[in-house]
Amino acid sequence: MTRLEKMDTGVSMRVENMRYSLDIWADSGRFVDLKSPKMGVMKGRTAESLSGFVKVSVVDKKEKSTLFSGASTGLGLEIMDDEDELKKGVTSSMG
C-alpha cells in the first residue's frame, strides 16, 4: 500500500506493484457513528452508512492505460478506527 488517507466521511487508498496500480476512493455520505469492538471491548468507533459511494480504478503503469474504472452509489460502507490504526491493520495483514 502506497497511500492511505482517512477523511471525515471517507477513505482514499492506493495499492500498487511494479506493473499495476489500484486506486479506491470511498465516501460514506451521511453516516452514524457507532461503538464497535476493539480487542473484545466496545471501545472502538465505527462510522456506518447505507448511502455510500465508491470509485475504483486499475491502471497498467507500464502501458499507461486504465484497465478498469467504475463507481457505485447507495452501498453500505463502514470505516473503522483512525488512520494510524487502519495503516497498522493493513501492514499486519500483509505479513
pLDDT at residue 87, rounded to an integer: 63
Backbone angles phi, psi at 87, to 5 degrees: -60, -40
- Residue bearing cell 500498487: 16
Q: Which three cell numbers stand for residue 79?
A: 470505516
Indicate whether 4 pLDDT > 70.
Answer: yes
How confident is the model over 41-92, as pLDDT tens digits?
888 887 678 888 999 999 999 999 999 999 999 888 776 656 666 666 555 5
Q: Identify the DSSP state of 64.
A: T
Domain extents in the chain:
3-86
User: Is 0.95 surpassed by the pTM of this model?
Assistant: no
Could you give the 3-state DSSP secondary structure of residue 36? strand
Q: What is the pLDDT of residue 59?
A: 97
